[in-house]
Amino acid sequence: MQTYRGRFAPSPTGPLHPGSLLAALGSWLFARRAGGEWWLRIEDVDRIREVPGAAQDQLETLAAFGFVHDGPVVCQRERDALYAAALDRLLDAGHAFECHCSRSVIEAQGGIHRACIPGLRRPDPSIRLRVPDDCLVEFDDAIRGHQSQRIDRDVGDFVLRRSDGCWAYQLAVVVDDGAQGMTEVVRGADLLDSTPRQILLQQLLGLPTPAYAHLPLLVDAHGHKLSKSSSAHPIDRGNPLPALHEAWLQLGQVTFAASPQATSQEWLHDAIARFDPSRIPYSNMELS
Protein backbone atom coordinates (compact mmCIF):
# COMPACT_ATOMS: atom_id res chain seq x y z
CA MET A 1 0.00 0.00 0.00
CA GLN A 2 1.20 3.47 -0.90
CA THR A 3 1.66 5.77 2.09
CA TYR A 4 -0.92 8.53 2.37
CA ARG A 5 0.69 11.84 1.48
CA GLY A 6 -1.39 15.00 1.67
CA ARG A 7 -0.65 18.69 1.70
CA PHE A 8 -1.76 22.17 2.62
CA ALA A 9 -0.88 24.65 -0.09
CA PRO A 10 -1.63 28.27 0.83
CA SER A 11 -1.07 31.15 -1.56
CA PRO A 12 0.91 33.92 0.17
CA THR A 13 -1.65 36.62 -0.43
CA GLY A 14 -2.00 37.65 3.23
CA PRO A 15 -2.14 36.22 6.75
CA LEU A 16 -4.01 32.96 7.38
CA HIS A 17 -7.70 33.53 8.18
CA PRO A 18 -10.36 31.16 9.57
CA GLY A 19 -11.04 29.77 6.05
CA SER A 20 -7.39 28.82 5.56
CA LEU A 21 -7.29 27.30 9.05
CA LEU A 22 -10.25 25.10 8.11
CA ALA A 23 -8.35 23.78 5.07
CA ALA A 24 -5.14 23.34 7.09
CA LEU A 25 -6.92 21.48 9.90
CA GLY A 26 -9.06 19.38 7.54
CA SER A 27 -6.12 18.29 5.40
CA TRP A 28 -4.00 17.63 8.51
CA LEU A 29 -6.73 15.51 10.18
CA PHE A 30 -7.32 13.40 7.07
CA ALA A 31 -3.58 12.75 6.77
CA ARG A 32 -2.86 12.00 10.43
CA ARG A 33 -5.94 9.83 10.84
CA ALA A 34 -4.62 7.68 7.98
CA GLY A 35 -1.16 7.57 9.62
CA GLY A 36 0.02 9.56 6.63
CA GLU A 37 2.25 12.50 5.84
CA TRP A 38 1.21 16.14 5.64
CA TRP A 39 3.37 18.49 3.58
CA LEU A 40 3.35 22.25 3.09
CA ARG A 41 3.66 23.99 -0.24
CA ILE A 42 3.75 27.75 -0.75
CA GLU A 43 1.85 28.48 -3.95
CA ASP A 44 3.57 31.67 -5.01
CA VAL A 45 3.38 31.46 -8.81
CA ASP A 46 1.12 34.49 -8.96
CA ARG A 47 3.74 37.19 -8.46
CA ILE A 48 1.14 39.91 -8.78
CA ARG A 49 -1.12 38.78 -5.93
CA GLU A 50 1.74 37.80 -3.62
CA VAL A 51 2.18 39.91 -0.48
CA PRO A 52 5.84 40.19 0.60
CA GLY A 53 6.45 38.41 3.91
CA ALA A 54 3.09 36.58 3.83
CA ALA A 55 4.59 33.12 3.24
CA GLN A 56 6.87 33.39 6.28
CA ASP A 57 3.99 34.74 8.34
CA GLN A 58 1.74 31.81 7.30
CA LEU A 59 4.44 29.27 8.21
CA GLU A 60 4.96 30.88 11.61
CA THR A 61 1.20 30.87 12.27
CA LEU A 62 0.91 27.19 11.36
CA ALA A 63 3.80 26.37 13.70
CA ALA A 64 2.20 28.43 16.51
CA PHE A 65 -1.03 26.46 15.97
CA GLY A 66 0.89 23.23 16.59
CA PHE A 67 0.94 21.88 13.04
CA VAL A 68 4.05 19.83 12.39
CA HIS A 69 4.69 19.06 8.74
CA ASP A 70 6.60 16.36 6.93
CA GLY A 71 9.10 16.87 4.14
CA PRO A 72 10.66 20.16 3.11
CA VAL A 73 8.45 23.21 2.58
CA VAL A 74 8.26 23.57 -1.19
CA CYS A 75 7.94 27.01 -2.81
CA GLN A 76 6.59 27.18 -6.32
CA ARG A 77 8.77 30.14 -7.25
CA GLU A 78 11.79 27.81 -7.16
CA ARG A 79 10.26 25.33 -9.58
CA ASP A 80 10.12 27.14 -12.93
CA ALA A 81 12.19 24.43 -14.62
CA LEU A 82 9.66 21.72 -13.71
CA TYR A 83 6.71 23.75 -15.02
CA ALA A 84 8.61 24.67 -18.20
CA ALA A 85 9.43 21.00 -18.87
CA ALA A 86 5.77 19.99 -18.45
CA LEU A 87 4.62 22.83 -20.70
CA ASP A 88 7.15 21.82 -23.38
CA ARG A 89 5.84 18.27 -23.30
CA LEU A 90 2.29 19.50 -23.78
CA LEU A 91 3.35 21.84 -26.62
CA ASP A 92 5.42 19.11 -28.33
CA ALA A 93 2.49 16.68 -28.15
CA GLY A 94 0.14 19.28 -29.66
CA HIS A 95 -1.92 19.51 -26.45
CA ALA A 96 -1.05 23.17 -25.89
CA PHE A 97 -0.90 26.23 -28.11
CA GLU A 98 0.07 29.88 -28.13
CA CYS A 99 -3.01 32.11 -27.91
CA HIS A 100 -3.13 35.73 -29.06
CA CYS A 101 -6.78 36.33 -28.20
CA SER A 102 -7.45 39.26 -25.89
CA ARG A 103 -9.66 39.07 -22.84
CA SER A 104 -12.35 41.11 -24.59
CA VAL A 105 -12.34 38.73 -27.58
CA ILE A 106 -12.88 35.77 -25.24
CA GLU A 107 -15.51 37.60 -23.21
CA ALA A 108 -17.40 38.26 -26.43
CA GLN A 109 -17.56 34.47 -26.84
CA GLY A 110 -19.11 33.93 -23.43
CA GLY A 111 -15.73 33.66 -21.66
CA ILE A 112 -15.02 30.21 -23.11
CA HIS A 113 -12.13 29.78 -25.52
CA ARG A 114 -12.57 27.06 -28.14
CA ALA A 115 -10.67 28.47 -31.14
CA CYS A 116 -8.39 31.45 -31.73
CA ILE A 117 -9.64 34.33 -33.83
CA PRO A 118 -7.39 34.19 -36.92
CA GLY A 119 -4.94 37.00 -37.58
CA LEU A 120 -4.68 38.38 -34.02
CA ARG A 121 -1.14 39.08 -32.76
CA ARG A 122 -0.07 40.31 -29.37
CA PRO A 123 3.46 40.65 -27.98
CA ASP A 124 2.56 38.66 -24.87
CA PRO A 125 0.58 35.58 -25.94
CA SER A 126 -0.63 33.13 -23.31
CA ILE A 127 -0.36 29.36 -23.66
CA ARG A 128 -3.54 27.34 -23.36
CA LEU A 129 -4.44 23.69 -23.19
CA ARG A 130 -6.33 22.46 -26.23
CA VAL A 131 -9.33 20.80 -24.62
CA PRO A 132 -10.75 18.05 -26.84
CA ASP A 133 -14.43 18.06 -27.84
CA ASP A 134 -16.79 16.08 -25.59
CA CYS A 135 -14.21 16.19 -22.79
CA LEU A 136 -16.11 14.69 -19.86
CA VAL A 137 -14.07 14.22 -16.67
CA GLU A 138 -15.56 12.39 -13.69
CA PHE A 139 -14.26 11.69 -10.20
CA ASP A 140 -15.52 10.67 -6.78
CA ASP A 141 -15.00 13.22 -4.05
CA ALA A 142 -14.63 11.76 -0.55
CA ILE A 143 -17.01 14.40 0.86
CA ARG A 144 -19.19 15.49 -2.05
CA GLY A 145 -19.57 12.21 -3.92
CA HIS A 146 -19.62 11.78 -7.68
CA GLN A 147 -18.60 14.83 -9.72
CA SER A 148 -18.45 15.42 -13.44
CA GLN A 149 -17.66 18.29 -15.77
CA ARG A 150 -17.67 18.79 -19.54
CA ILE A 151 -14.48 20.82 -19.70
CA ASP A 152 -14.84 21.83 -23.36
CA ARG A 153 -18.29 23.26 -22.78
CA ASP A 154 -18.04 24.57 -19.20
CA VAL A 155 -14.45 25.87 -19.15
CA GLY A 156 -12.92 25.76 -22.64
CA ASP A 157 -9.23 25.83 -23.53
CA PHE A 158 -7.64 26.96 -20.28
CA VAL A 159 -4.49 28.92 -19.61
CA LEU A 160 -1.25 27.15 -18.65
CA ARG A 161 1.06 30.14 -18.85
CA ARG A 162 -0.43 33.57 -18.54
CA SER A 163 0.25 36.49 -20.84
CA ASP A 164 2.23 38.15 -18.01
CA GLY A 165 4.56 35.14 -17.99
CA CYS A 166 3.30 33.66 -14.69
CA TRP A 167 2.53 29.95 -14.56
CA ALA A 168 -1.15 29.24 -14.20
CA TYR A 169 -2.22 27.63 -10.94
CA GLN A 170 -3.70 24.64 -12.82
CA LEU A 171 -0.36 23.68 -14.38
CA ALA A 172 1.78 24.33 -11.30
CA VAL A 173 -0.50 22.41 -8.93
CA VAL A 174 -0.63 19.35 -11.19
CA VAL A 175 3.12 19.29 -11.75
CA ASP A 176 3.78 19.70 -8.02
CA ASP A 177 1.21 17.18 -6.78
CA GLY A 178 2.74 14.71 -9.27
CA ALA A 179 6.40 15.49 -8.54
CA GLN A 180 5.82 15.41 -4.78
CA GLY A 181 3.94 12.11 -4.90
CA MET A 182 0.73 13.46 -3.34
CA THR A 183 -1.80 10.66 -2.96
CA GLU A 184 -4.60 12.82 -1.49
CA VAL A 185 -5.75 16.36 -2.03
CA VAL A 186 -7.94 17.84 0.73
CA ARG A 187 -8.79 21.51 0.14
CA GLY A 188 -11.60 24.05 0.03
CA ALA A 189 -14.64 23.55 -2.17
CA ASP A 190 -13.78 26.70 -4.14
CA LEU A 191 -11.39 24.43 -6.05
CA LEU A 192 -13.95 21.69 -6.74
CA ASP A 193 -14.53 23.08 -10.19
CA SER A 194 -10.76 23.13 -10.96
CA THR A 195 -10.34 19.44 -10.19
CA PRO A 196 -11.55 18.09 -13.57
CA ARG A 197 -9.01 20.38 -15.33
CA GLN A 198 -6.31 19.04 -13.06
CA ILE A 199 -7.30 15.43 -13.72
CA LEU A 200 -7.21 16.10 -17.48
CA LEU A 201 -3.71 17.58 -17.17
CA GLN A 202 -2.58 14.61 -15.06
CA GLN A 203 -3.81 12.27 -17.79
CA LEU A 204 -2.03 14.21 -20.55
CA LEU A 205 1.21 14.33 -18.54
CA GLY A 206 1.01 10.66 -17.55
CA LEU A 207 0.71 11.49 -13.82
CA PRO A 208 -1.38 9.54 -11.29
CA THR A 209 -4.63 11.10 -10.08
CA PRO A 210 -4.76 11.55 -6.29
CA ALA A 211 -7.92 11.04 -4.24
CA TYR A 212 -9.85 14.28 -3.65
CA ALA A 213 -11.89 15.67 -0.75
CA HIS A 214 -13.31 19.19 -0.92
CA LEU A 215 -14.08 20.83 2.42
CA PRO A 216 -16.91 23.28 3.02
CA LEU A 217 -15.99 26.91 2.54
CA LEU A 218 -16.33 29.67 5.05
CA VAL A 219 -18.08 32.58 3.42
CA ASP A 220 -19.07 36.08 4.48
CA ALA A 221 -22.66 37.34 4.73
CA HIS A 222 -22.65 37.94 0.95
CA GLY A 223 -21.53 34.41 0.16
CA HIS A 224 -17.98 35.46 -0.77
CA LYS A 225 -15.03 33.24 0.10
CA LEU A 226 -13.23 34.70 3.11
CA SER A 227 -9.89 35.26 1.41
CA LYS A 228 -11.66 37.51 -1.08
CA SER A 229 -13.68 39.30 1.58
CA SER A 230 -13.01 42.25 3.84
CA SER A 231 -14.44 40.29 6.80
CA ALA A 232 -11.47 37.91 6.71
CA HIS A 233 -9.70 38.77 9.95
CA PRO A 234 -6.39 36.98 10.47
CA ILE A 235 -6.40 34.17 13.01
CA ASP A 236 -4.79 35.03 16.34
CA ARG A 237 -1.43 33.33 16.61
CA GLY A 238 -1.29 34.10 20.32
CA ASN A 239 -4.46 32.14 21.13
CA PRO A 240 -4.79 29.06 18.89
CA LEU A 241 -7.20 26.86 20.88
CA PRO A 242 -10.44 28.84 20.34
CA ALA A 243 -9.77 29.08 16.59
CA LEU A 244 -8.92 25.37 16.36
CA HIS A 245 -12.09 24.50 18.24
CA GLU A 246 -14.17 26.72 15.96
CA ALA A 247 -12.66 25.09 12.85
CA TRP A 248 -13.34 21.66 14.37
CA LEU A 249 -17.04 22.56 14.77
CA GLN A 250 -17.13 23.94 11.22
CA LEU A 251 -15.92 20.51 10.10
CA GLY A 252 -19.07 19.12 11.72
CA GLN A 253 -17.16 17.38 14.52
CA VAL A 254 -18.35 16.68 18.06
CA THR A 255 -16.95 18.90 20.82
CA PHE A 256 -14.55 17.21 23.18
CA ALA A 257 -13.17 18.39 26.48
CA ALA A 258 -9.52 19.27 26.20
CA SER A 259 -7.56 19.92 29.35
CA PRO A 260 -7.49 23.66 30.08
CA GLN A 261 -3.70 23.49 30.07
CA ALA A 262 -3.56 21.64 26.72
CA THR A 263 -1.16 23.04 24.17
CA SER A 264 -2.42 23.28 20.62
CA GLN A 265 -0.20 20.34 19.70
CA GLU A 266 -1.83 18.22 22.42
CA TRP A 267 -5.27 19.35 21.28
CA LEU A 268 -4.44 18.35 17.70
CA HIS A 269 -3.14 15.01 18.85
CA ASP A 270 -6.37 14.32 20.79
CA ALA A 271 -8.45 15.35 17.78
CA ILE A 272 -6.99 12.69 15.46
CA ALA A 273 -8.82 9.71 16.98
CA ARG A 274 -12.06 11.72 17.31
CA PHE A 275 -12.11 12.94 13.73
CA ASP A 276 -15.04 11.52 11.74
CA PRO A 277 -14.94 12.60 8.05
CA SER A 278 -18.50 11.39 7.51
CA ARG A 279 -19.70 14.33 9.67
CA ILE A 280 -18.20 17.00 7.40
CA PRO A 281 -21.00 19.12 5.91
CA TYR A 282 -21.31 19.64 2.15
CA SER A 283 -22.53 23.18 2.13
CA ASN A 284 -20.61 26.40 2.65
CA MET A 285 -20.93 28.07 6.01
CA GLU A 286 -21.29 31.66 6.94
CA LEU A 287 -18.62 32.86 9.35
CA SER A 288 -20.30 33.67 12.67
Kindly tell me which of 113 and 187 has the beta carbon lying closer to ligand GLU.
187
Whether the CB-CB separation of 123 and 100 falls below 8 Å is answered with no
* Interaction between residue 43 and ligand GLU (CB under 6 A): yes
Give the binding range for ligand GLU (CB under 6 A) out of 5-13, 129-137, 205-213, 274-282: 5-13
The reply to whether 225 belongs to the active site is no
Binding mask 6-35 for ligand GLU (x = CB under 6 A): ---xxx------------------------
* Interaction between residue 173 and ligand GLU (CB under 6 A): yes
Distances (CA, A) of 170 to 50, 175, 201, 203, 242: 17, 9, 8, 13, 34
Task: Please pick, among 49, 122, 228, 279, the residue that the annotation labels catalytic.
Answer: 228
Residue 135 CB-density burial (10 A; 0-12 exposed, 13-18 middle, 19+ buried): middle
Contacts with ligand GLU by CB under 6 A: the residue count is: 7
Binding mask 191-230 for ligand GLU (x = CB under 6 A): x---------------------------------------
Q: CA 281 from chain center: how many Å?
A: 19
- Pick the binder of ligand GLU from 17, 32, 187, 197 (CB under 6 A): 187
Beta carbon of residue 116, minimum distance to ligand GLU (angstroms, whole number): 29
Q: Kindly list the residues in this chain that would bind ligand GLU in the complex (CB under 6 A).
A: 9-11, 43, 173, 187, 191
Residues with a known catalytic role: 228
